[in-house]
Structure formats: structure tokens, C-alpha cells
Structure 1
Amino acid sequence: MQTLAQPKAAPPAAAFDLRIMTGLTGILLASLVAGLNEHVTDIAMTDVRGVLSVSHDEGSWLTTLYEAAQVAAMAFAPWFSATLSLRRFTFGVTAVFMLAGMLCPLAPNLPTLYVLRTIQGLFGGCLPPMLMSAALRFLPPGIKLYGLGAYALTATFGPNLGIPLAALWTEYTGWQMVFWQIIPICLLAMAAVSWGIPQDPLRLERFAQFNWVGLLLGLPAITSLVVVLEQGTRLGWLDSPFICRMLLLGLTTLTLFMINEWFHPLPFFKVQQLARRNLTFSLITLGGVLVVLVAVPGIPAGYLAEIQGYRPLQTVPLALYVALGQLVALPLVSALCNFTRVDCRWVLACGLGLIAATCYLGSAMTSDWIRDNFYGLQMLQILGQPMAVIPLLMLATNGLPPAEGPFASAWFNTVKGMAAVVGSGVLEGLTTAREHFHSNTLVNQWGNSGQALSITPSDSEGLSALAEQIHVQAVVLASADVYQVMTLLTAILILFIPLMATRVYPPRPLAASHA
């Protein structure tokens, strides 16, 4: 009879001092760079396509491959870090991530760039889970919420900062800098991690019970579903045999993967953790919140580019406004939630309410809106994002034993990665579908009104002007529809709070908790 391996206790936390703080800062920098690098090919796509002579459809796979590899890595990285040691693993994946970024602009052809971006996504996806694992392990209870706030920066600050930086490099230097911007930050992060994080011993005995079945099931499950979400709109969703096959593969292998994880003695995911009410609630709500937080910022950017003709650099202030605002808002919300008298569920409800208000006000947009009209909405989003994310992290991790930290990190980061992909897919798919619907409706209304008689087929200028007007109105109405859907989704998440979440208190030292 096989003896089930019991997970060893996590190594004892070292005294929190300057070295530990330096090491945590290094992991934070590496994690932020991974998020910053996520969508750089979207901004530099025109230049990349010109250099390599590729089509838009071929170029779209650069983002898809990166995203698929990144989300898959988030699921399995905590296991490898516990086996190889946090310092050794973080240093190694940061080095490979940086090296792949250095080589991307030097790729001689598209297949080579595909491989490099996949490698970069794979190793970049390993970095955010390390930040959560390190924060749960090293930070004293009294300041643990600030560490979770720093982790929240990977979901709110990094992606919003990546777009402005990529636009600046593309406009003023060259598209190569979009990839090379990570080099100095990665070098600094590696130095900080090497000096500041304690070196744990190797635990190679864990490979004796390595979960090969889970790896062989989990990788195709996650990557297939990401490909479906990323390429679904372009290929026509279920009208595409390729999308149908990938969806079937993803759902089948995901089901088998979860069954395997339940019974395996050394799993990547501890499915039994879902019995913890707050963890399950937090994962569900976090997924919904991140779908909204990814979809909503894309609406003004897409509208301003398509309708008002803004270049990427001209939309930079909106993303930069949100990114820099997080540096102020996140510590303040962490401090608020650190008060024992503050129920973090109310903070969560207020944050979701602000996000819902942002979406509701945005649904009133018209074709006259310019960049300045979105600043008020961005202010609400700056306040709402951390008020939604910090309480969820607190609800999920409070009272979690250190040995279970890697499992919680795997759950949270995989949900975070998948939610980001779902948000992008929902924004693109829903916008396209509603734009087509409104275009057809407007054309039918115009044809039935009798105004069609005023324009003859030979009147090319009149037909062109009419088509442009219909397109503008269709885009505006579709954008408003997306805002309305996001308002409804956020309202549903608010209703979940009294139904699922139980009160938790901010972490405190044992002596203080008995005082």
C-alpha cells in the first residue's frame, strides 16, 4: 500500500530585517516586470509586423502564446519553488525571462519569435506566485496586509504601466526597447533576491513523487482554454472547428486534472482547500473583479483610438493615471483594513460599488467624448480597485498555515491569470458582437425611414459619410453595452458578500491576539 507523503512544514521565517526587505523588493520588481511585459507586443505590433513581414492574424499569436504559457506557469511554479528553494528558483526564472526578452528583437523570423515569447511567458508567469509566497512567509503579522497590497500591484499597477512605457519607447526610440526595457530592472531584482532572500535547502526528494499525470493534464487544460479565449473572436468561436477541438480538449483535461489533484499525495493544487468558505468566495469574486478591471480600461482606449483617432501615446495619460494612483491608494486601503474595528467585507462592498458606479456612468458615453471625459471614471476606478482586491486577499489568506501558502498561491495566481485572459476575451468578443448588432439595427432603421431614397448608388461620398456615421454610433453603443454588462456583473458580486464571506480580522502576533 502506498504511503501518502505529508507536506513538510515551510522553513521557518527569518527575522524581518533590511536583507529580507531587500529580497522582497527584488521579487516585487521581478513580478511587476512580468506584468509590464505582458502586452508589449500589442503596442509594438505594427513595427514587428513590418520587420518580419507577417499578417495581423499571425502576429496575434505572439500575445496568445505568451498568455497561455504565463497562466500555465502560474499553476505549477509554487511546487517547483518549494522544491528548489524560493531564492534559487526566483533568481533562475528571472534570468531566463530577461534573456528571452533580450533575444526577442534579434529573432530572424516569426517562428523563432514565437518560441522566445513562449519561453518568456513561461518564466514570467513563475514570478507573481513567488511574491505571494514570500509575503505570506516572511512578513510579520502586523504588516502582512501591506505585503498583500504589494502583491495586488501585479494585477493593477504593472499592466497599466506597461502600456504607457511601450507607447513611449515605440514613439521616441524604437520597438526593440519595448523588449529591452526589462533588462536593468531584472538585473536589479536578481541582485536583491540573491542578497536578501535566505537560501533554503534543496528538497529533491519531492521529485520521487512528482505529479507527472497532473503536469501532463494541467498544461494542455490551461493552455487550450487560454487559446480559446484569445483566438475565439478572431476565428468565430464555435463556428471554428479548431476552437471546438481546443475547447473540448481543455474541458476534458481540466476535469481529469482536478480529479487527479484530489487524490495525488503531492499535488500542484490542493483541491481540499476549497472547503474553506472564504477561500472559495475570494477566488470566485477575484475572478469576477479582475474580468471587470481588465475589460473596463480597454473600453476608453479602444474608443479613443477608433473613433477619435488617438495614437497609443495619446491614450497614455489614462493608463498612467490609474497606474500611479495605485501607488497611493493601495497602501491607504491596506492601512484601513489593518484596523481591527474595520470589517473588510464592507471595504470590499464599497470597492465593488465604486467599480459599479464607474461602469454605470461610462454607459452614458456619446460620440462627443474625448480623453478628458474619462478622467472622472478613472478616479473612481483608482479608489475601487484596491478596495476590492485587498479585502479578497485578506479573506483568503487569513489564518492560512505556512505549509499551505504555496497551494493558495497556485490557486490565486492561476485564477488571476485566467481572469485577465477572460477579461480581454469578453471585451473583444462582446464589443464585436454588439457592434455588429447595432450596425445592422441602424442600417435597417435608416432603410425603413425613407432616407435611403436621398442617396443614390453613384453617390460615393454620401455612402461613405453614412457608413462612417453608422460605424461611429455602433462603436459608441457597443462600448456602452459593455459598460452595462460590467455594471451587472459587479452588482452580482456585491450580492455574494453576505451570502458567502465570514468576518475575518487583520493578522496580529499571537501575544497581541490574546491581549
Structure 2
Amino acid sequence: MASPAHPAPLPPPPLTGSARTWGTLALSAATFMNVLDTSIANVSLPAIAGDLGVSPTQGTWVITSFAVANAIAVPLTGWLSQRFGQVRLFVASVTLFVIASLLCGLAPNMAMLIAARALQGFVAGPMIPLSQSLLLSSYPRALAGLAMAMWSMTTLIAPVTGPLLGGWITDNMAWPWIFYINVPVGIVAVLVTWGIFHKRETVRRKLPIDSIGLALLVIWVGAMQIMLDIGKEHDWFESPWVVACALVAAVGLVAFLIWERGDDHPVVDLTLFRNRNFWAGALATAVGYGLFFGNVVLLPLWLQQYMGYTATQAGEVMAPVGLLAMVLSPWVGKNIGRTDPRRFATFAFLVFALVLWMRSNFNTQADLATIMVPTIVQGIAMAFFFIPLVTVTLSEITPDRIPAASGLSNFMRITAGAVGTSIATTLWERRATLHHAQLTEGLHHGNTALAQALQGLQVGGFTPEQALAQVERLVNQQAFMLAANDIFYASAVLFLFLIPLVWLAHAPHASKGSADAAAGAH
């Protein structure tokens, strides 16, 4: 980028003492609230749909509307923060998020709830990238890794807490409370953040609005998110609706890239991809997160649908993933400046591969302890995943471009999570169909094992029809377990293939990167 005519003003010095502690807590609480809302409504959909008198399929728009609006807003963070200032934008974002949460809880019908969720998703967009940027500016260079550790713990724990908390609130209170709980948290976060950071506002620039770029962004991201949401339900490209969304997304993306490259004030700064550390780090984070999130969705689905677990029990199985992540993240943060972060990221991918390989050996007799062990071990991988990769991604980005870089990398991560979920669940069902066909090939009326099983069930009091239905249920359970094993194994292999991508980045130096962003060096 061209050097400005006047030297940029020096950023404020790092915070110290209680101001830094309270600032970190406020920023982390806002981030936690944001990430929590991406998953908290999932388990409450049946209750919401029933209460508002719509089908569960229509109820999924409660999730989709948030995801589409959020995906559009996240990459706009860099442009918005330059126009309005990072602190003002963050405080406005959290304030509007609280108002939107209140509107969600008060919604009298599904149309109002979907509109409020879309508003909530859009205003939430800048919160995560700006919380990263403001945290980095609050810590001295030597503690930049610790700042990212504090930030990453909220993004690691919230997706796991969401379904557990959402299920409990829906069962014991009422579904509007999954939105009302944001109100007190958001108000405290706004008051504390403004009190500490309002004198540390960044320089604002009167940038013109790239209306065409913004319109193209809305079109292609919206079409892609809708395609991912309705794809499985409509058998993907067998449906003209899915094909239409895919075409709109593809054409819109190409037009968007061409327009943004030629615009003087683009809404998304694509020149960031000229930096090797940014694109390598952002791509490794996105693909790794897509694999991780796809499997995070798949495991509780398998447990609930084919292993007899309730939603709360499945949530309890997933919850321990945060234990080792919380313990190890501060250690990783403190040592990230002394160790090549690419080594830490490599270790994370190896542990993820180990965890998924362990899961690929599950069977229908797997007890709670067997299922829990990989989940606990996964916490190690999560601690070594986000912090090093964020460090690599932002290591050669100047402080004024960190909101744009963080926004773009988070957009890639969120999008990859949606893609990973769609691919994992679709392949799971297709592999299950294949395994079901293979398992039933030998089950014909002349099969001795089948005859003995049916006879045994009938002796136990089943009618012939009930006995056949029971055998079919067991075959189905086995087919979906084998399909889950396939997905777990393939994901383990893909994590190993990600390791070379991390090493395409340069080794971040102590004088560069997110540490510099913390110190405000140029």
C-alpha cells in the first residue's frame, strides 16, 4: 500500500493492571456471547418451531438467517472500522446485538424471529475481528500470544457450550431465554469496553461506499449459504433450486473478485492475499476448522440418532473438549513468542488426526468412557490450533490492516465451518446407504444367521414383523456407525495433508506480526 503523506499517529501504549484485565474480560465476554449464538438455537429448533406453529424445516431458517447475515458482515469489518473507528464500531456492534437478541426473544411469529436473527447475525459480524484487534493493542509485544490465548478460549468453549446451554434452557425455562441471556452480558461488555477503550479510538477515514462491491458480496455469500443450508434436504444438485443458488454464488463470486480488484476503496481488501503468511495461515485455519466443525456436528448426531443418547447427554459428551484447551491455552500463549508457531500448529494437526483415527475405530458397543477419551484429548489439539495459526496469519500485517485481515480470515473460517458441516453430514448419509446395501446383501431368507436371529427375537416375544423391524434397526445402526467411521478416518488423513500448508508460511519473527500489532510497531 502507498505510504500516507503524513506519518500515521502512534497507537496508544498497552494497557496495564486492572484496566487490561477488565478490558480482556469484556472483549472475551462479547466474543463468547457472539459465538454461543451460532449454536445455542440448534437444539431448541423443535421447541421454537412448535411454539410458533411452523414445521421444523421452516425452523432451520432461524439458523440460516443468522449465518447468512453474519457471513456477509464479517469481511466488511476492515472497511467499517476505518470509516467509524474500531472502538465505536465494536461498541455499536455489541449494543445492536443486545437489541437484536431482545427482539428475537419477543418475536411473536417466525417471520419476525427470522428478521431479528438476520439483524443479530449482521451486527455481530465485526465483533470477533475487532475483539482480536483491540486485545492485541492492549498487550505489550511479549504478551501478544497470551492475549490470543485469552481470546481463543472463548471461541473454543462457546460452540460446545451452546447446545448444552440451549438444551437446558429449553427444557427448564422457555426458548426466548436463549436470546434474553445475551442482554445482561452485552450491557456489561458495552459499559466496560467503552469506559476502558474510548480514549484509544483509532483514526477514522471518510471512505466512499463501494455499493457495487457490497451488493455483489451480499448476492454471492447469500446464495452460497442458502445452497449449503437447503442442499442436503433437496438432494443437492438434483434440485433446480440448489443448482440455481450454486450458479448465482459462482457468477457472483467471480464478478465480486473482478470488481474488488479494480476498486479504489473495496469493501474487502483482497490485496491481503499477496502476503504468503496471511493466505497460508488463513487457508490452514479455514480447512482445519471446517474438518473440526464437521466432525463436531457429526458426533452428537450419531450419538443421538443411533446410540440412544439424549441431546443433553450428547452435549455432556462434547463438553470435556474444553478442559485441556483451557488449561493449555495460556501456556501456549506465553510460549508462542519463543517457539516457531508452525511447530505448534503441526502438533495440533497431528493430535487432531490421532483423535479422529481413534473415533474411526468406534463400534456400536462403545461405552461412555471410550467415546469420551478422544474428546478429552481433542482439547490438546484445540489449544495448539487457534493461537499459533492466528499468529502466523497476522504475523506480517501492519496494525492498521489487522481488522481487515482478521475479518477476512474469520470469514473464511466461518464459511469453511458451514461447508464442512454440509459435506460431513451429506457424505455420512451417502456412505450409510452404501454400507446398508452391503450389509443386507447376505440377509436373505435362506441365511442361517438371519433365521436364528429372527427366531430368537420371536421367542423373546416379538411378532415376525417386529422381529424384522428390529433386525432392520440393527443393520441401520451398523451402517451409520461404519459411515461415521469412514468420515472420521478421512478427516484424520486430511489433517495430515494440512501440515505442509502451514510450512509454506515464513517463520514469524519476534519483531513482526501480531506481536508488533500489540506493540503498535510499523
The answer on whether the counterparts of 2:443 and 2:450 sit within 8 Å (CA) in structure 1 is no
Residue identity matched to 2:506: T
Q: Mapping of 1:32-71 within 5 angstroms?
A: 32-71=32-71
- How far apart in 1 are the matches of 2:95 and 2:448? 64
Taking structure 1 as the reference length, what is the TM-score of the superposition?
0.91
Match of 1:472 in 2: 477
Alignment pair present for 1:312 and 2:316: no
Match of 1:259 in 2: 258
Structure 2: runs of 5 or more not aligned: 456-462
Relative to structure 1, is the Cα distance of residues 337 and 202 closer, same or farther in structure 2, using a 3 angstrom cutoff? closer
> Mean Cα displacement is larger for which, 165-174 or 108-117?
165-174
Q: Mapping of 1:86-105 within 5 angstroms?
A: 86-105=86-105
Structure 1: runs of 5 or more not aligned: none
Instruction: Report the identity percentage.
Output: 20
- How far apart in 2 are the matches of 1:223 and 1:53? 26
Match of 2:194 in 1: 194
Residue identity matched to 1:363: S
- How far apart in 2 are the matches of 1:10 and 1:289? 37
Shift of residue 299, structure 1, vs aligned partner: 3.1
The answer on whether the counterparts of 2:64 and 2:229 sit within 8 Å (CA) in structure 1 is yes
Relative to structure 1, is the Cα distance of residues 247 and 86 closer, same or farther in structure 2, using a 3 angstrom cutoff? same
Residue identity matched to 2:70: Q
Deviations 1:214-246 (A, max 9, x none): 101111111211121222111111111111111
Shift of residue 296, structure 1, vs aligned partner: 2.1
Deviations 1:34-71 (A, max 9, x none): 10111222111121121112112111121111111111
Alignment pair present for 1:157 and 2:171: no
The answer on whether the counterparts of 2:126 and 2:407 sit within 8 Å (CA) in structure 1 is no
Alignment pair present for 1:126 and 2:126: yes
Alignment pair present for 1:505 and 2:479: no
- How far apart in 2 are the matches of 1:221 and 1:359? 33
Match of 2:210 in 1: 211
Match of 1:417 in 2: 414
- How far apart in 1 are the matches of 2:161 and 2:75? 25
Pairs aligned (count): 504
Deviations 1:406-460 (A, max 9, x none): 221122111121122112212221211112221222222323974598479x931
The answer on whether the counterparts of 1:352 and 1:490 sit within 8 Å (CA) in structure 2 is yes
Deviations 1:318-362 (A, max 9, x none): 3321134322221111122222xx222221111100000001111
Match of 2:380 in 1: 383
Match of 2:231 in 1: 232
- How far apart in 1 are the matches of 2:446 and 2:209? 69
The two structures, once aligned, show a CA RMSD in angstroms of: 2.6
Match of 1:460 in 2: 465
Residue identity matched to 2:238: D
Relative to structure 1, is the Cα distance of residues 100 and 227 closer, same or farther in structure 2, using a 3 angstrom cutoff? same
The answer on whether the counterparts of 1:100 and 1:116 sit within 8 Å (CA) in structure 2 is yes
Deviations 1:273-302 (A, max 9, x none): 212111111111111110122122223311
Taking structure 2 as the reference length, what is the TM-score of the superposition?
0.90
Q: Mapping of 1:73-472 within 5 angstroms?
A: 73-199=73-199, 206-207=206-207, 209-339=208-338, 342-447=339-444, 450=447, 454=451, 459-472=464-477
Shift of residue 149, structure 1, vs aligned partner: 2.2
Shift of residue 189, structure 1, vs aligned partner: 0.5
Alignment pair present for 1:495 and 2:495: no
- How far apart in 1 are the matches of 2:70 and 2:249? 16
SS at match of 1:40: coil
- How far apart in 2 are the matches of 1:448 and 1:497? 55
- How far apart in 1 are the matches of 2:82 and 2:66? 24
Shift of residue 399, structure 1, vs aligned partner: 3.4
